[in-house]
């Protein structure tokens, strides 16, 4: 079977311990991954992180710190969240990590993939999870489900490499391929437009608003839009938005 190869980026969302940032970078370098982004409310202490990033100079040099998750995953075509599933009730399927490769092949995933890890203390939040096409779970014991962040990253990137999912280098036609699938950034624009339309139409109720928006984003991901599909849907929403803002005089 032709293996699914993707350009991977590991995204650490609000990590607390700079040593874990460095340890994560080291395991990326161990398994041939190059891109790491850190979503943090403040610039991470890269100096401290570097002490544990032995041999991962290139990864650290190119690591980015961004204020929001969307900045880290904007150009990704598939976003995968990691979770123990222990802390909150999820109404979504958790894919065991060893089955990730088969699932990505089934979905014919291609382009750029982002793999998200939450903070040591709380994991990924509901808003982070709503950006994810897939949720994976490292099959840890129920007696001790929560892994050290650096070790969790190492296990995941080992599995990516083991399953032949790591693109050695960008393919020559990666740009044209990327155009085919809607990126997380373009879907986020679509989502914001849809939110605005629902807002203006009076659909969103104060009490259920937040949960409703998380579900909306999830449904949008489930559509698996092409970038052309995203442009068309964006056009439709823009038209509806315009009409809502410029209503025809009643009964004309």
Residues 88-107 that bind a second copy (CB under 8 A): 98
Q: Indicate whether 251 belongs to the interface with a second copy (CB under 8 A).
A: no
Among 68, 88, 126, 139, binds a second copy (CB under 8 A): 139
Residues from 38 through 97 that contact a second copy (CB under 8 A): 52, 54-56
Report CA-CA distances (Å) from 115 to 65, 77, 190: 15, 11, 22
**Per CB under 8 A, which region of 26-34, 106-114, 127-135, 190-198 contacts a second copy?**
26-34
How many CB atoms sit inside 10 A of residue 248's CB? 7
Among 1, 2, 47, 141, which residue sits at the site for a second copy (rule: CB under 8 A)? 141
161 belongs to the binding site for a second copy (CB under 8 A): yes
Q: Which range, of 149-157, 196-204, 224-232, 239-247, touches a second copy by CB under 8 A?
A: 149-157
Tell me: does residue 30 bind a second copy (CB under 8 A).
Answer: yes
Kindly tell me which of 55 and 67 has the beta carbon lying closer to a second copy: 55
Q: To the nearest whole angstrom, how small is the minimum distance from the Cβ of residue 5 to a second copy? A: 15
Beta carbon of residue 54, minimum distance to a second copy (angstroms, whole number): 7
**Which of these segments, 8-16, 28-36, 67-75, 226-234, binds a second copy (CB under 8 A)?**
28-36
Give the count of beta carbons closer than 10 Å to the beta carbon of residue 1. Answer: 6
Least distance (Å) between residue 7 CB and a second copy? 16
CA angle, 60 as apex, 182 and 56 as ends, to 5°? 115
Please state, in angstroms and rounded to a whole number, the distance separating the CA atoms of residues 166 and 6: 6
Contacts with a second copy by CB under 8 A: the residue count is 31
Give the shortest CB-91-to-a second copy separation in angstroms.
Answer: 25
- 145 near a second copy, rule: CB under 8 A: yes
Q: Point out which residues bind a second copy (CB under 8 A).
A: 23, 26-27, 29-32, 52, 54-56, 98, 138-141, 143-148, 150-152, 154-155, 158-159, 161-162
């Amino acid at each position: 079977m032709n293996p699914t190869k993707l350009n991977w980026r590991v995204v650490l969302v609000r990590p607390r311990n700079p040593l874990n940032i460095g340890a994560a970078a080291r395991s990326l370098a161990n398994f041939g991954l190059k891109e790491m982004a850190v979503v943090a409310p403040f610039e991470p202490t890269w100096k401290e992180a570097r002490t544990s990033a032995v041999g991962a100079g290139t990864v650290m040099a190119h690591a980015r710190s961004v204020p929001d998750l969307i900045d880290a995953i904007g150009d990704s075509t598939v976003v995968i969240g990691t979770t123990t599933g222990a802390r909150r009730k999820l109404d979504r399927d958790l894919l065991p990590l060893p089955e990730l490769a088969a699932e990505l092949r089934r979905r014919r995933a291609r382009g750029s993939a982002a793999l998200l890890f939450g903070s040591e203390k709380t994991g990924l939040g509901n808003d982070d999870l709503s950006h994810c096409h897939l949720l994976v779970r490292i099959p840890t014991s129920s007696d001790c489900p929560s892994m050290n962040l650096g070790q969790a990253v190492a296990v995941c990137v080992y599995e990516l490499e083991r399953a032949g999912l790591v693109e050695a280098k960008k393919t020559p036609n990666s740009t044209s391929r990327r155009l085919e699938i809607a990126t997380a950034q373009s879907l986020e624009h679509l989502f914001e437009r849809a939110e605005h339309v629902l807002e203006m139409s009076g659909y969103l109720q104060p009490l259920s608003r937040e949960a409703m928006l998380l579900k909306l984003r999830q449904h949008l991901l489930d559509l698996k839009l092409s970038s052309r599909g995203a442009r068309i849907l964006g056009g439709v929403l823009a038209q509806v938005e315009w009409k809502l803002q410029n209503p025809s005089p009643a009964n004309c």
